Amino acid sequence: MPKKFTIKFPAGFIQSVGRRHYGRPQTKKAKINGLVEMQLLFMKYKKVKAKLDYHLDVWWEKEKIESYFKQSKWYNAHIKLKRLRKEVKEIHKKMFYLLLNYDGNYESFDANYCISAEVIFEDFIRKYKLNKKDE
């Protein structure tokens, strides 16, 4: 005699998963505002990320920063590096919370375990692009 396996989910779990994958219904104005804001954040993210990559990959070696250990040039370079990393993290965090706000889900941000900014941008565009019915 086969046994039946049943799972009981908490109230609202299925709706939450649906919003995560398909997005929450939004008005045309809200979609436009969200798309503009997300695109601006993503452009800013790419710009700051490019600066950070240049700073670490090219400029750091060209200027031989480590040879100035405990001198003002070394300290200034590390301060700039810290500022750029913080700025990248803050923009990533804003993008994450914008996506969650539009989806209607609530999670906390952790840069080490969160989806990347590129995936956030693509997911937002996929879910909230303007359709024929919005026009």
Most confident of 18-22, 32-36, 66-70, 85-89: 85-89
The residue range of the domain holding 45 is 38-129
Question: CA-CA distance, 125 to 106, in Å (whole number)?
Answer: 19
Please report where in the chains the tokens 């301060």 appear, as a residue: 79
Residue 15 lies in a domain: no
Tokens of 121: 């941008």
Distance from C-alpha of 73 to C-alpha of 125, rounded to nearest angstrom: 42
Backbone φ/ψ region at 70: left (φ over 0), alpha (ψ -120 to 50), beta: left
Q: 103 in a domain, yes or no?
A: yes
Whether 10 is covered by a domain: the verdict is no
Q: Is 109 a residue whose pLDDT tops 90?
A: no
Q: Within a domain: residue 125?
A: yes
Give Cα 84 distance to the centre of its chain. Answer: 16
Tokens of 3: 């046994």
Residues 6+ apart with CB under 8 A from 90: none
**In this predicted structure, what is the pLDDT of residue 135?**
56
Determine, yes or no, domain membership for 8: no
16 in a domain, yes or no?
A: no
Cβ atoms of 16 and 105 within 8 Å: the answer is yes
Question: What pLDDT score was predicted for residue 26?
Answer: 79
> Is 18 within a domain?
no
Number of domains in the chain: 1
pTM to 2 decimal places: 0.81
Query: 58: which 2 tokens?
Result: 């090219």
Closest CA to 114 of 99, 129, 130: 99
Instruction: Please determine, for residue 89, whether its predicted confidence score (pLDDT) is greater than 90.
Output: yes
Q: Taking the CA atoms of the chain, what radius of gyration do you get in angstroms?
A: 21
Pair of tokens at residue 129: 């692009």
Task: Name the average pLDDT for the chain.
Answer: 87
